[in-house]
């Protein structure tokens, strides 16, 4: 008996081993469902046969420019068909897709183009003011710039490149013989973090990870074949949670949306029978705050994923009442998007609506493709007990964790310390194993030696009928070390005094946790709707 | 600019790389849905917490016997909880699961135990007559035998081992620290082919393949979470098409079924609200032929996969009318089960029922995890045109193609010639890209220089109202070279003469294709319901 009989003569070969890649999905979907609609954008309609051909042309045209394995192609675009096509066309020639947040300033865009080693830059003319300035700051004459010119937008911006996207596609060969990479660990995408402090870091995804992200998303979201997916999550944000690839795998129809408004969402749901979408809580907020005239009736189920900041349970409750079935998910740019979700348990079916909403605000349990998530105590590195109280850091393991940060070995090592990816998010684990985020590591307020969760204070503030948005950060204090300082945005036509709001907090939570200071103002937000606490912290520091 | 910046400092580490393994699914499902039902078998009920613990105990008990990486554990059992547990418990300690067809003769069982290097043999006492004889023939005193003793069966067989399964589990440690293999290419299962000629060959599966088989099955079958799955496909057959692992990934409830009868299926559907099952056409035949008294009413959708021999469209049509939505799938032991399926196209929705059934009998298009399937012309190795007529061999590429045949390098090389797995199934490709099997390579009849598809002749025979089963093979003929010889099993209480049946065939197909000889008899079948044409061929040869 050969001890190694299960290995001898059992090598990988082209018949039994293929590198995992999301590029495989579009080839299959084109073959099986060539005449199904792939993308709808305003009056534009594409079938999978057409989208596939456009992706192959893009790959071919880029290859003709010299783009090959490991070359970065940056794209600064809205959620239009072109950005969808970039998710396939760029990696089809071996390139790495670097989507850039369209709301960044010119200096940061220039930094990303430079640091990311972009060879080609595809940019929508809507953003030409910033892009022009960024290109001037970059001063790289070798960078090839291609303009996306969209007839559907009014006030179309300036053309900055030598070619527009449609003309560029025409230079590509629709029969171009693209290949799936030999190595599934090959880079697929480069996504810069939103940069809550300092320069953004470039998160690198590989083909294997995106393939598995897709599969796990289908399982966790119970995606049927041919969903009708409204793309409200910006594709520049973790590649739109990977859904460009996921919807391709299930041969969905992607409804593109340049400007995310309540009207646009309701119209897409009613007119295109959207079955699925994803969005930050701010998007859900738009829906519940939409005036009657912007709402449209619909009678089919619509499932939504939400992530970003934990949405207040009041928001979840209201959006559910509108007919949207919302699932809270959690993840980071470093994890290709969502890696945990609030998977529903049948025993919760009969709970009162309010309790259901409280549960639905939890970040929950790991996705099927996520190998492990543990909440590890900061002091010991051991898992915290599932008591709903003990705070620890969310740490993640799995194949949808980034390769590393581009050209930043120190940050990469730090993120992977002790063989876990460290999220810097602080959470508790409820009995039953569901995580709930309490804070970012740096958002904990230590007052008189007691930990105060800024999220808890914010949740209390949200219960006040006049409060639209709230953010709580630490304010240095001679006596207490730190005290909670709340920044509050009021609803239109509502008012409340600082004194009354503090009193409200004291009535609804432990007294020591109530904010000592309240500032009424419009809150600074990132392009994806996250409140920028670091701006508030700077404001406090500058006023000291 | 570093040319290699996407590789430098981007190594795999425990946070961002984990070997793919179906073992990951049971860990997650136990964590997330511990109190959901995992397995129902008669009066026995297990939750995922319990099933997981039993699997871990099994792994621990096996490890204590010295079973480790690459050691074979054979199991000869019905579709009971024990066989389900074997799918996890054996690989949890590094072992390789070798399920054995329960209808094999003692000599073949002994051959498999010997060739497969089994260290432990878990066997259900139902099969003790054959097993006793096989053990005697094997004469291996080192083989540890463990009996599954099932109180639910009457006429329980003889105990042959030193321990029974439940006692063996008790020796295991429920806290045993099992590990997912470091290498996803590690062997997971060993499945011997049914052996249509000569000794069966041992097909080796790896962890990566089973993980991906699971994911692809969820996508193609649109499996929701928590399906209620009736296990009618024998788990010894391609590990029951991998569904033991798939249903675990989606936290389904598996309803086990020792004896597959129409009553058992209708009862499970009505009493346990079965939502999904799989079965050979013979199982579908049972359903449509069940007398009124055995049928049960149900009002929920039931989806069934069928595979094996292409079912006559008349069968598909009738089973659909009973309330079962049937999807034809195709695969082989060498491909972990199904790799193609007749994916439905919306344009077929309005076709007449008969035409829909004709389409549904096709083997269709590749699964999402299947990288490529081509029908290659035998003469040229080039893909045949999609004309519905040109015959070629189905060739497959993907991660759910076996590692190879155990200790059979020659057969492995032959199967993987030219970088494709060769199925030996002959098919045409219809316009639109859907494959339809016409024959096994060796089942083509060449009569007067013309190819006659035995499947086509059989399809014609099935149209006759008296015909229950039909199999056509080549009969040597001095004048024509070969002529079609039909073996026909009639329905109870039906009769037809040879002459009339031949005339019926001539009326319904090209004259030269009509069988020259018809033999009325009961047809020999494999344990999975396939008609054993090689037995018929031997019969013809012996009578020459």
CATH value at residue B512: 3.30.300.30
Q: Tell me how close the Cα of B123 comes to any Cα of chain A, in angstroms.
A: 23
Helix (H) or strand (E) holding A137: helix A128-138
Residues of chain A found within 8 Å of residue B14, distances taken between Cβ atoms? 397, 419-420
Q: What is the mean pLDDT of residues A453-481?
A: 87
Cα–Cα distance for residue pair A533/A184, rounded to 1 Å: 38
Q: Are residues B189 and B112 in the same domain?
A: yes
Query: In the prediction, which pLDDT does A1 show?
Result: 43
Q: How confident is the model over B111-132, as a mean pLDDT?
A: 97
Supply B225's token pair. 């979470």
pLDDT digit string, tens, across residues B259-301: 899 999 999 999 999 999 998 877 888 898 899 999 999 999 9
CB A226 within 8 A of CB A36: yes
* Cβ neighbours of A396 in B, within 8 Å: 15
Is there a single domain that holds both residue B334 and residue B413? Answer: yes
Q: How many CB atoms lie within 10 A of CB B321?
A: 10
H helix count then E strand count, chain B: 17, 26
Q: Which of B441, B461, B490 is the last residue in one of the domains?
A: B441
Q: Does residue A431 belong to any structural domain of this protein? A: yes
Please tell me the distance in Å from B125's CA to the nearest CA on chain A: 29
Q: Is B185 on the interface with A (CB under 8 A)?
A: yes
> Is the alpha carbon torsion for A7, A184, B15, A361 positive or negative?
negative
Count of the separate structural domains present in chain A: 3
Residues A289 and A409 in one domain: yes
Which of B441, B456, B471 marks a domain boundary?
Answer: B441
In this predicted model, what pLDDT tens digit does every residue of B335-380 receive, in sequence order? Answer: 999 999 999 999 999 999 888 888 988 999 999 999 999 999 988 9
List the single residue in A with minimal CA-CA distance to B411. A9
Beta bridge partners of A501: none
What pLDDT was estimated at residue A103?
Answer: 86
Is B338 inside any structural domain? yes
Q: Pick from B15, B397, B403: which is nearest to A18 by CB?
A: B397
Put simply, the chain A residues between 298 and 337 with a CB less than 8 A from any chain B CB are none
Query: Does the beta-carbon distance from A24 to B371 stay under 8 Å?
Result: yes
In the predicted model, is pLDDT for residue B40 greater than 70?
Answer: yes
Q: Residue A441 above 90 pLDDT?
A: no
| Cβ atoms A167, A5 nearer than 8 A | no
Query: Are B283 and B176 found together in one domain?
Result: no
> Which residue, of B410, B441, B472, is where some domain finishes?
B441
List the one residue out of B38, B148, B146, B22 whose CA is nearest residue B87. B22
Cα(A15)–Cα(B419) distance, integer angstroms: 5
Residue A188 shares a structural domain with residue A39: yes
User: Do B177 and B315 fall into the same domain?
Assistant: no
In B336-420, DSSP assigns E strands to 337-341, 365-366, 370-376, 392-398, 404-405
Determine how β-strand B445-447 pairs with β-strand B276-279: unpaired
Question: Do A219 and B399 count as a contact with CB atoms less than 8 A apart?
Answer: no
| Nearest neighbour of A187 by CB, restricted to B6, B212, B401 | B6
Q: Is B475 helix (H, G, I), strand (E, B) or coil?
A: strand
The alpha-carbon gap from A415 to the nearest alpha carbon of chain B, in Å, equals 9
| B406/A6 touch (CB, cutoff 8 Å), yes or no | yes
**CA A283 from centroid of its chain's CA atoms:** 13
Are residues B428 and B435 in contact, defined by beta-carbon separation less than 8 angstroms? Answer: yes
Is A62 in the same domain as A140?
A: yes
Q: Which residues of B touch A143 (CB under 8 A)?
A: none
Q: What phi, psi does B412 have (nearest 5°)?
A: -60, -50
Inter-residue contact A536 to A524 (CB < 8 Å): yes
B196: phi > 0 → left, psi -120 to 50 → alpha, else beta; which?
Answer: alpha
Residues 6 or more apart in contact with residue A492 via CB below 8 angstroms: none
Mean pLDDT for chain A? 92
In this structure, is residue B228 part of a structural domain?
A: no
**Mean pLDDT, rounded, for B116-145:** 96
Q: Enumerate the residues of chain B whose CB falls inside 8 A of the CB of residue A3.
A: 70
A335 pLDDT higher than 70: yes
Nearest CA to CA, how far is B139 from chain A (Å)? 16
Tokens 């035409």 belong to: B355
Any domain includes A4: no
Task: Among A1, A9, A12, select the one facing B117 at the smallest CB separation.
Answer: A1
| The token pair that represents B405 in the structure block | 């045949």
Would an 8 Å CB–CB cutoff place A541 in contact with chain B?
no
**Per-residue pLDDT tens over the stretch A259-299:** 889 999 999 999 999 999 998 877 888 898 899 999 999 99
Say yes or no: B434 and B492 in one domain: no
Measured distance CA(A158)–CA(B398) in Å, rounded: 47
User: Do the Cβ atoms of B416 and A15 come within 8 Å?
Assistant: yes
Tokens 């939505």 belong to B325
Nearest to A117 among B5, B8, B371 (CB): B5
What is the C-alpha separation between B459 and B315, in angstroms, rounded?
11
Contact at CB, A28 and B187, closer than 8 angstroms: no
Q: Which chain A residues have a beta carbon less than 8 Å from that of B1?
A: 117
B250 in a structural domain = no
CA distances from A431 to A382, A387, B30 (A): 17, 6, 15
Q: Do the Cβ atoms of B225 and A224 come within 8 Å?
A: no
Residues of chain B with Cβ-Cβ distance to A117 below 8 Å are 1, 5
Q: What pLDDT is attached to residue A3?
A: 52
Which pLDDT score is estimated for B379?
Answer: 84
Within a domain: B282: yes
Name the residue with tokens 């001679």. A478
Contact yes or no for B20 and A399 at CB 8 A:
yes
Q: Are B470 and B462 in contact (CB under 8 A)?
A: yes
pLDDT, one tens digit per residue, over A161-190 is 989 999 999 999 999 999 999 999 999 999
State in Å, rounded, how far the first CA of chain B is from the last one: 78
State how far the Cα of B524 lies from the Cα of B537, in Å rounded to an integer. 11
Q: Which of A3, A15, A115, A423 to mutate: most B Cβ within 10 Å?
A: A15
Q: Measure the CA angle with vertex B367, ends B365 and B368; round to 5°.
A: 125
Tokens 């989806």 -> residue: B303
Number of CB atoms found within 10 A of residue A520's CB: 15
Query: Does A15 touch chain B if contact means CB atoms closer than 8 Å?
Result: yes
pLDDT over 60 at B106, yes or no = yes
From CA A112, how far away is CA B276, in angstroms rounded? 50
CATH code of the domain in which B187 resides? 3.40.50.980
What is the β-pairing status of strands B337-341 and B365-366?
Answer: antiparallel
Does A149 share its domain with A279?
no
Q: Is the pLDDT of residue A197 over 60?
A: no
C-alpha torsion sign, points A260, A263, A266, A268: negative
User: How far apart are alpha carbons B50 and B37 in whole angstroms?
Assistant: 9
Q: How many CB pairs under 8 A join A and B?
A: 169
- pLDDT given for residue B527 in this prediction: 66
The B residues from 345 to 384 touching A (CB cutoff 8 Å) are 345-347, 365-366, 368, 371
HSE of A411 in the Cβ direction (CA atoms, 13 Å)? 17
Choose the weakest-confidence range: A75-79, A181-185, B14-18, B507-511. Answer: B507-511
Q: Nearest by CB to B204, which of A6, A18, A403?
A: A6
Q: Would you state the pLDDT for residue A477?
A: 82
Summarised one tens digit per residue, pLDDT across range B400-446 is 999 999 999 999 999 999 999 999 998 999 999 999 988 777 777 87
Of A90-99, A460-469, A511-520, B309-318, where does the model show the most confidence?
A90-99
Max avg pLDDT among A288-292, A528-532, B93-97, B536-540: B93-97
- Pair (A476, A495) in one structural domain: yes
Q: Which domain holds residue A170?
A: 23-217
Closest CB to A215: pick one of B24, B33, B215. B215
Q: How far apart are CA B185 and CA A223, in angstroms?
A: 29
B117:A5 CB<8 A: yes
Q: Is A420 on the interface with B (CB under 8 A)?
A: yes
Distances (CA, A) of A163 to A50, A54, A125, B369: 21, 16, 12, 38
Confidence at B392, pLDDT banded by 50, 70, 90: very high
CA distance, residue B196 to nearest chain A CA (Å) = 23
> Which domain CATH number covers A366?
3.40.50.12780
Identify whether residues B37 and B180 lie together within a single domain: yes
In terms of domains, do A379 and A450 share one?
no
Q: What is the mean pLDDT of residues B186-209?
A: 88
Share of chain B above pLDDT 70, in %: 96
Q: Which residues of chain B lie closer than 8 angstroms to A407, CB-CB?
A: 2, 5, 8
Examine residue A191 and state whether it is found in any structural domain, yes or no.
Answer: yes
Q: Is residue B127 part of a domain?
A: yes
Residue bearing the bigger pLDDT, B470 or B313: B470
Residue B117 sits at the chain A interface (C-beta within 8 Å): yes
Residue of chain B whose alpha carbon sits nearest to that of A119:
B1
- Across the interface, whether the CB atoms of B365 and A407 are under 8 A apart is answered no
If we measure between CA atoms, which residue out of A104, A98, A143 comes closest to residue A127? A104
3 state DSSP class of B332: strand
CB-neighbour burial class of residue A539 (10 A; exposed 0-12, middle 13-18, buried 19+): middle
A324-332: strand order across its sheet: A44-47, A37-41, A253-255, A228-230, A276-279, A302-306, A324-332, A337-341, A365-366
Residue with tokens 């991660």: B399
Query: What rounded mean pLDDT belongs to chain B?
Result: 92
- Summarize the confidence of residues B140-155 as an average pLDDT: 87
Residue of B nearest to A5 (CA): B407
> Residue B398 to residues A11, A178, B375, B395, B510: CA-CA distances in angstroms?
14, 18, 15, 10, 38
Question: Given pLDDT bands bounded at 50, 70 and 90, which one contains residue A309?
Answer: low
């Amino acid at each position: 008996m050969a001890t190694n009989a299960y290995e001898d003569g059992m090598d990988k070969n082209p018949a039994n081993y293929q590198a995992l890649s999301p590029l495989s999905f579009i080839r299959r979907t084109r073959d099986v469902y060539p005449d199904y609609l792939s993308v709808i954008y305003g009056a534009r309609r594409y079938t999978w046969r057409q989208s596939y051909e456009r992706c192959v042309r893009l790959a071919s045209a880029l290859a003709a420019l010299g783009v090959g394995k490991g070359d970065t192609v940056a794209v600064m675009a809205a959620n239009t068909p072109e950005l969808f096509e970039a998710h396939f066309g760029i990696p089809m020639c071996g390139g790495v897709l670097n989507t850039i947040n369209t709301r960044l300033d010119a200096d940061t865009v220039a930094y990303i183009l430079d640091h990311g080693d972009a060879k080609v830059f595809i940019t929508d003319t809507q953003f030409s003011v910033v892009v022009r300035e960024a290109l001037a700051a970059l001063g790289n004459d070798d960078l090839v710039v291609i303009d996306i010119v969209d007839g559907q937008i009014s006030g179309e911006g300036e053309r900055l490149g030598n070619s527009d996207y449609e003309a560029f596609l025409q230079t590509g060969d629709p029969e171009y013989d693209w290949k799936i990479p030999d190595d599934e660990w090959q880079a697929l995408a480069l996504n810069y973090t939103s940069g809550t402090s300092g320069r953004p870091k470039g998160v690198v995804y590989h083909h294997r990870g995106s393939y598995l992200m897709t599969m796990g998303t289908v399982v966790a979201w119970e995606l049927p074949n041919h969903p009708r997916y409204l793309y409200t999550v910006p594709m520049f944000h973790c590649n739109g949670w990977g859904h460009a690839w996921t919807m391709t795998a299930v041969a969905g129809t992607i409804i593109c949306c340049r400007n995310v408004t309540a009207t646009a969402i309701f119209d897409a749901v009613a007119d295109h029978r959207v079955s699925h979408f994803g969005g930050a809580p701010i998007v859900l907020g738009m829906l519940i705050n939409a005036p009657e005239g912007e709402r449209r009736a619909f009678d089919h189920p619509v499932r939504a994923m939400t992530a970003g900041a934990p949405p207040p349970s009041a928001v979840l409750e209201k959006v559910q009442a509108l007919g949207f079935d919302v699932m809270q998910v959690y993840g980071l740019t470093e994890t290709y998007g969502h890696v945990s979700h609030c998977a529903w348990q049948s025993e919760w079916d009969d709970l009162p609506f309010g309790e259901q909403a409280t549960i639905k605000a939890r970040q929950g349990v790991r996705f099927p493709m996520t190998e492990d998530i543990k909440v590890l105590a900061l002091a010991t590195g051991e898992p915290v007990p599932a008591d709903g109280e003990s705070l620890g850091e969310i740490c993640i393991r799995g194949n949808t964790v980034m390769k590393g940060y581009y050209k930043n070995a120190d940050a990469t090592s730090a993120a992977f310390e002790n063989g876990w990816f460290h999220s810097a998010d602080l959470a508790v684990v409820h009995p039953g194993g569901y995580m709930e985020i309490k804070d970012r590591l740096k958002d904990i307020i230590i007052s008189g030696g007691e930990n105060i969760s800024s999220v808890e204070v914010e949740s209390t503030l949200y219960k006040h009928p006049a409060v639209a948005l709230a953010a709580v950060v630490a304010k240095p204090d001679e006596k207490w070390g730190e005290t909670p300082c709340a920044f509050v945005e009021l609803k239109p036509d509502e008012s409340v005094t600082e004194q009354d709001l503090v009193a409200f907090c004291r009535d609804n939570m432990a007294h020591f946790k109530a904010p000592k200071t309240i500032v009424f103002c419009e809150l600074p937000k990132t392009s994806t709707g996250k409140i920028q606490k670091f701006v508030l912290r700077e404001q406090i520091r500058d006023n000291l």
